[in-house]
Structure formats: structure tokens, C-alpha cells
Amino acid sequence: MSETTLSQFMLFDSIPLLDALALAWFLLGATLYTALADQIAWGKRPMAVVLHDYRLRWMERMLERENRMADVQIVNAYIRSGSLFISTTLLVMAGIAAIFGQIEDLRVIIHDLSMSHPASRRLMELRVFVLVLVFVYAFFKFAWCLRQFNYTLVMIGAAPQAGQCDPALLKSFPARAALILSRAQANFNRGLRSYYFALALLPWFVHPMLLFITTVWVILVLYRRDFRSVTLQTLGDLADAETPLPDPEDGRV
């Protein structure tokens, strides 16, 4: 292989330094926030933890009811939401993939903007490819959450009738069912979070400096909604009015 051909595969020869730094900043921010929201901050009672307490109470109430159709309908509503996002994600990926055949037209349109930064065809292809990867990740998260919601339906169908639970089952079943539900919802949240970060990627097509700004902006928006929102405070206040329930073993999904 010639030296010229080899250089075409080198990252530093394909991506300008500013774009490489912007992409690294984006990946670092998305990875660290995911770790913060889903694992590191689990003991600080973010939205995911507060809602897990409600799911635990829900499963305890479910064991007290003879008719579980209301519980099934709630889980089916989760499934419909996940199915909608799976279909939407497939359509978005198809639309983005079609851009590969119009890269030159895309470059012309973007270069006509006054604040645009010149980009080679290879760099433009990389930007589109990264955007596709984000939605591929979202698709797998939505697909996995659907399977876990279906597992929850199986657990509801297998739940013993009211008054027929032995003490051990009465103690362990709600916690296990709530944990499956929380893990399903965590995967749904990761898929939905991918949409936020995909929006942060769009300004990268105009200028790499914008990716630094939009990455921080998206993280701040997500942080407020997961840790500082009025909705979280309301849910937390209502949960604190009752006896605290234990958190799940860990925040992993």
C-alpha cells in the first residue's frame, strides 16, 4: 500500500483538528452525562429514582387487585410510545441515509450560509455518518425497551391473585417487577436522549464551534429535566409524604 493511500485512512488527515476536537467534545459530553444520569447520581434521587419508587408502589397495588386490566393497559401505553419512536427512528435513518447520494448538493447549500465553515466531501460524509450512528443507537435502545415492557406484561400475567401471596413472594415480586419496568424505561430514556444529542449534532454541519455550544446546551437542558425540574420536585414531595422505599440494587440497565 502506497504512502498516499495509507494517509487517506489516517484520522488526522481526514478530519481538521477543530472538527476532531468538536466531535471528541460531543462524545465525551454524551458519555459522561449518560453515566451521571443512569449510574453515578443514582443516590441523589433524580427523576429515574423517584419514578422507580412510584413503580414499586404500583406493583404493590397491583398485587392487591383481582382485575389487572388497568395495569396491562398502562404497560401497553408504554409499548405504543416505544413503537412510535422505533418507526420514527427508522424513517429518520432512511432520510439521513438518502443524504449520502446528495453530499455535493448539501455542501453547496451549507457553504452558501454566511457563517458556514468550509468542509471537504469526506468530512461532510463523516458528519452524516455520525448522525446515522446516533439514530442507530436510539433504535436499539427503543427495541430493547419494548422487549422489557413485554417481559413486564408476562410478569403481570404471572402475578398471584390478591390474598394468595405468601410473605416471601409479596416482598420480592413488586421489587422485581418494578426493576424490570425501570430498566425498560431507562432504555427508552436513552433512546429519547439520543434525539436531543442528534439535534446538537446538526449545527456541526455549519461550523464545528457550534457543536461545542450545542453539546453544552443539550446537557444543561437534560440536567434540568432530570435533576432540577418542577415536575421532579412535585413527584418528590408526594413520594416523601409516604414511607420511603428502597432504591433498586444499582442504576445499570
Report pLDDT digits (tens) over 200-231. Answer: 999 999 999 999 999 999 999 999 999 988 98
Inform me whether the pLDDT recorded for 239 exceeds 80: no
135-150, pLDDT tens digit by residue?
Answer: 999 999 999 999 999 9
How far apart CA 200 and CA 185 sit, in angstroms, is 23
Pair 100, 125: CB distance under 8 Å: yes
| Average pLDDT for 36-58 | 84
SS (H, E, C) 225-237: HHHHCHHHHHHHH
Q: Which of 31-45, 67-81, 158-172 has the lowest mean pLDDT?
A: 158-172
What is the b/e burial string over 163-182, where b = at least 16 CB atoms within 10 angstroms of the residue's CB?
Answer: eebeeeeeeebbbebbbbbb
At 252 the pLDDT is 44
Inform me whether the pLDDT recorded for 123 exceeds 80: yes
Pair 192, 101: CB distance under 8 Å: no
Inform me whether the pLDDT recorded for 199 exceeds 90: yes
pTM of the entire structure? Answer: 0.84
At 10 the pLDDT is 43
Inform me whether the pLDDT recorded for 93 exceeds 60: yes
| Residue 85 pLDDT level (bands cut at 50, 70, 90) | very high
1-25, pLDDT tens digit by residue?
Answer: 444 444 444 444 568 899 999 999 9
50-64, pLDDT tens digit by residue?
Answer: 899 999 999 989 988
Pair 116, 110: CB distance under 8 Å: yes
Which is higher by pLDDT, 217 or 159?
A: 217
Name the percent of the chain lying above pLDDT 90. Answer: 53
Name the percent of the chain lying above pLDDT 70. Answer: 87
Helix (H) or strand (E) holding 174: helix 167-201
Which is higher by pLDDT, 162 or 239?
A: 162
Distance linking the first and last C-alpha atoms of the chain: 44
